[in-house]
C-alpha cells in the first residue's frame, strides 16, 4: 500500500495521477487500464477539489493497494469535506443528445462503467470512495 496526502486542488490532479501511475507501471498495468484509471482520477479528485471543502481548501488522501492473485488495483480517495456520495446520483440518459442532457453526472457514470467496482462510505468524519480495476 502506498498513499499520498495533499491539498484537494485541481492543480494537484496531475500529481495524484503521476503517483498512481508509478504504482501501476510497477505491476505492468496495461495501457488501456491506465488510461481508464487516469480518467477516473481526474473525475474523482477534481470533484473533491471543487466540492468537498468549497470555498476553502482541505487535504485529500489517495491510497493505492495492489493485489497479486488475480492482479488488481484498488484506489481509495479520502477527504474530510462535506459528506457526499456521488454514486447516489442518477446515471445520465445517454440516449439523449448532448444538447438534451442535463449538465453533470457523465464523469461519475464513466467511472462506474470502466471500473470493476466502485463503492462509497462515510466513516469517522471522512468521505471514502474506492475504485477497483482488475488486470
Lowest mean pLDDT among 11-15, 47-51, 86-90, 101-105: 101-105
pLDDT at 61 over 70: yes
pLDDT confidence bin for 102, thresholds 50/70/90: low
* Alpha carbons 112 and 81: distance in angstroms, whole number: 22
pLDDT at position 45 over 70 = yes
CA separation for the pair 109, 91 (Å, rounded):
6
Q: What is the pLDDT of residue 96?
A: 57
Domain CATH for 91? 3.30.565.10
- Give the span between the Cα atoms of 29 and 21, in whole angstroms: 9
Give the domain range for residue 71: 2-134
pLDDT of residue 88: 87
Between these two residues, 88 and 73, which has the higher pLDDT value? 73
Q: What is the pTM of this model?
A: 0.90
pLDDT at 109: 87
**Domain total for the chain?**
1
What's phi and psi for 22, nearest 5 deg?
Answer: -60, -45
Q: What is the mean pLDDT of residues 22-41?
A: 95
Per-residue pLDDT at 12 exceeds 60: yes
Asked whether the beta carbons of 118 and 86 are under 8 A apart, the reply is: no
At 69 the pLDDT is 83
What is the share, in percent, of the chain residues with pLDDT greater than 70? 87
Amino acid at each position: 500500500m502506498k498513499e499520498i496526502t495533499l491539498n484537494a486542488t485541481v492543480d494537484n490532479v496531475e500529481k495524484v495521477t503521476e503517483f498512481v501511475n508509478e504504482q501501476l507501471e510497477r505491476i505492468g498495468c496495461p495501457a488501456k487500464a491506465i488510461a481508464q484509471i487516469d480518467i477516473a482520477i481526474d473525475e474523482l479528485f477534481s470533484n473533491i477539489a471543487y466540492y468537498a471543502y468549497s470555498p476553502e481548501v482541505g487535504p485529500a488522501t489517495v491510497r493505492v493497494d495492489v493485489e497479486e492473485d488475480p492482479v488488481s488495483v484498488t484506489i481509495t480517495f479520502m477527504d474530510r469535506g462535506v459528506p457526499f456520495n456521488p454514486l447516489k446520483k442518477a446515471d445520465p440518459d445517454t440516449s439523449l443528445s448532448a444538447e438534451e442532457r442535463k449538465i453533470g453526472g457523465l464523469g461519475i457514470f464513466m467511472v462506474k462503467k470502466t471500473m470493476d467496482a466502485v463503492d462509497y462510505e462515510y466513516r469517522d468524519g471522512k468521505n471514502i470512495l474506492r475504485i477497483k480495476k482488475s488486470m
